Structure 1
Amino acid sequence: MHNRILIVSILLFVFHSLYSQDMRIDYNLVYKEDSLSSENVTKKMVLIIQDGGSKFLTEKQYNVDSLRSTGFNGFAVSDHDFLTIKKDQNHVSRYYFVLRDSYKLATPTKFDWKIEKDVAEKYGYKCQKATLNYKGRTWEAWFTQDIPVQEGPYVFKGLPGLIVYMKDNRGSYEFTFSGLKKTFHKMELENMNLKPLEVSYNNLKKILMDYYNDPFREMKSGNVKAKFKDEKGNEIQPDFREMTKKLQSFLKKHNNPIELSDAIKYP
């Protein structure tokens, strides 16, 4: 009897040790920037679980941040889409980048998950289904207690196991698990060139609307230097009015965020 208890205790210790450490989870994300289009965008995403917190970002941005953390200061193309940081179980910070500025929206987050009876094997793990209504979308999620961390892609968390799959019922967003790594490059979670300015949701809406109304104001004022050339390479005077109309049309068309109820209502 004592031997059996000892064996169970050892197994529980090994299991806990395996998944209480830091880890990197890889996901594939397929989504629609325009809900009326059949065209999808695909990105490789990374969820870093480290020092009691987590960070979700594109793999491209993870690679850029990894270089920067080693002291590399050269030019590198960034991709800040879907960047979120969870420093505890109750708060999530989302990050937005407009022109040369970055903004941080920190909000308390609690998800009202409904755990279903459905079970299935996915990606080699025993999984269970859960559903969630969140900011204008209804989500189907599958989580596994084989990886007992209450984490998932983007802002999502709070289930009794890792979320390995999520899809909204409109078919606009789908996250799929693609791997787990125990060894990865660690860095500060909020590792950015410029410290983001923390804003409220109302302030963020105003910033985004101001950008929509006059997206090239920095160039027109001369604060940002840019040269415009025609097809033959000759420098030309830009038509900011026409450029503004085209960008505004693009922003209105590509306005299908995960937080659907928070979509900016452009005129």
Structure 2
Amino acid sequence: MKRTTIFFTLLLFLQAAQAQIESMMQTIEPALLECRYQWIQKTDTLGTEIAVDTMVLRIGKKVSQCYPQSTFSMDSLVNTPNGGEIFMQQMMDFMSKKRPRPGTKIINRYYYKNYPDGKFNTFAPTPIRIEENYQKQAWIIVADSTKTILGYSCQLATCHFQGREYKAWYTTEIPYQEGPWKFNGLPGLITEVYDTKNHYHFTLVSVKKDHLPPVCFYKLKAESLQEVPKKDRIAFLKESAKKNKHNFDFMETDYHE
């Protein structure tokens, strides 16, 4: 009887959470493909500690969105009725070592390629947005390089981008010039990408084509895109580095220059 009660309580909560999420979605366009990447980040300068999350990439005809799964789950929770109470209980369980720490695992950002047209927008929780020109990296394709990732035949490419050197494997078997985070512009889907110091590493773990949520703007912190104030990317990174005093650096290191 107790298990049945717990099951139906959980079911009702999940239904309420899904309804709340749907009410906060501003659809941009239908999704054609959803890819999930394992995201591993080193969290100290010695590389002895890591954080792991899932990066979701949802691709539409003109626009794509990308976000960490833990960030979305956390935002959805706190925007759900009684979500704050549930989060506090999770924190208490964490402090008593009954469960892992709740919340965002690596970074709380939402990324949109070509939204609005010709722009790349990053949304941070303050809320603020960082708007840049949407452009592909200056990739150099490595000839005679092959690797199989998730059953797809892949080829290697390299680039220098916003302060770091990156290597990326891509497959022409999935004909979308897309990838996680800001990466794009190769002749197929990026299946693995990492910087040469291996501080940040993304690896494709799943591809889904059917019954997808739309490419959308989640109105978790504001009612519309226009309500979110803009911030210069370099200024934002400098302020974040000064405020947070991390033991690791950002994916973009060009703010040092």
- TM superposition score category, shorter chain reference: 0.5 to 0.7
User: How far is 1:174 from its partner?
Assistant: 0.7
Q: Which residue does the alignment assign to 1:52?
A: 62
Q: Which residue does the alignment assign to 1:196?
A: 228
- Residue range with higher mean Cα deviation, 57-66 or 121-130: 57-66
Q: Does 1:103 align with 2:96?
A: no
SS at match of 1:189: strand
User: How far is 1:178 from its partner?
Assistant: 0.4
Q: Which amino acid aligns with 1:106?
A: E
Asked which structure has the greater CA Rg, the reply is 1
Normalising by structure 1, what TM-score? 0.65
Q: Which residue does the alignment assign to 1:174?
A: 201
User: How far is 1:191 from its partner?
Assistant: 3.2
Residue among 183, 186, 192 paired with 2:214: 186
- Using the alignment, how far apart are the partners of 1:171 and 1:205 within structure 2? 20
Structure 1 runs (4+) greater than 3 angstroms displaced: 61-68, 71-74, 76-80, 205-209
User: How far is 1:37 from its partner?
Assistant: 3.6
Q: Which amino acid aligns with 2:83?
A: F
Normalising by structure 2, what TM-score? 0.68
Q: Which runs of 5+ in 1 are unaligned?
A: 1-19, 213-250
User: How far is 1:201 from its partner?
Assistant: 3.0
Q: Does the CA contact (< 8 Å) of 2:129 and 2:229 recur in 1?
A: yes
Q: Which runs of 5+ in 2 are unaligned?
A: 1-29, 88-102
Q: In the superposition, relative to structure 1, how do residues 208 and 140 fare at CA in structure 2: closer, same or farther (>3 Å)?
A: closer
- Using the alignment, how far apart are the partners of 1:66 and 1:24 within structure 2? 19
- Using the alignment, how far apart are the partners of 2:109 and 2:31 within structure 1? 24
Where relative contact order (Cα < 8 A, 6+ residues apart) is larger, the structure is 2
Residue among 149, 160, 163 paired with 2:187: 160
User: How far is 1:66 from its partner?
Assistant: 6.8
Q: Does the CA contact (< 8 Å) of 1:65 and 1:191 recur in 2?
A: no
